[in-house]
Amino acid sequence: MTYLGKTMILLAGLTLAACTNPDRFAGGNGAGAGAGGAGMAGAASDPTSPAYFQQAVGDRVLFAVDQSTLSGEAQATLDGQARWLMENRDFSATIEGHADEQGTREYNLALGARRANAVQEYLVSRGVAGNRLRTVSYGKERPIEICSEESCYAQNRRAVTVLAAGPTS
């Protein structure tokens, strides 16, 4: 029994060690030529600023290959986004969906759209008004990491919430 007990403790310790947050504050805005609506800067220390949203709350979630389901981490980040959006009602958002380069162009466009939509529905389920959110997909056209390896692909499979001042037009 002691043997089992030690094993359990060891396993629990290892599991908890895995719970580090991957660095989502990778520098740079979400790419988006023509995404409409420039996020305004403002100090990251100001909790009502888009910079705070980007860096402290986290403006992006990542996906597994071919998937548009939200992982536990993704949901946690989106919970934070939803709260921020409820507290800062002056902003609307465009959710950009992306895919990695391992797919054909048009299918990846559709896949990015699925991902963006998954985020939108989740935010709506957390209370954000639907008319404040729009979705767009860039497919594989705007990667943020350009090496051709899984480490880069993982970063590219993302949905980024880009803020815009004022209600959506």
CB closer to other proteins out of 5 and 34: 34
Nearest to 85 by CA among 134, 38, 124: 124
Nearest to 162 by CA among 70, 30, 25, 23: 30
The answer to whether 166 touches 134, Cβ cutoff 8 Å, is no
Nearest to 33 by CA among 138, 130, 139, 155: 138
Contact call for residue 166 and other proteins (CB under 8 A): no
Minimum gap (Å) between residue 67 Cβ and other proteins: 11
CA gyration radius, the chain: 18
Contact call for residue 61 and other proteins (CB under 8 A): no
Minimum gap (Å) between residue 14 Cβ and other proteins: 30
Contact call for residue 74 and other proteins (CB under 8 A): no
Residues engaged in binding other proteins (CB under 8 A): 31, 33-36, 66, 68, 101-107, 109-111, 113-114, 116-118, 120-121, 134-138, 141-148
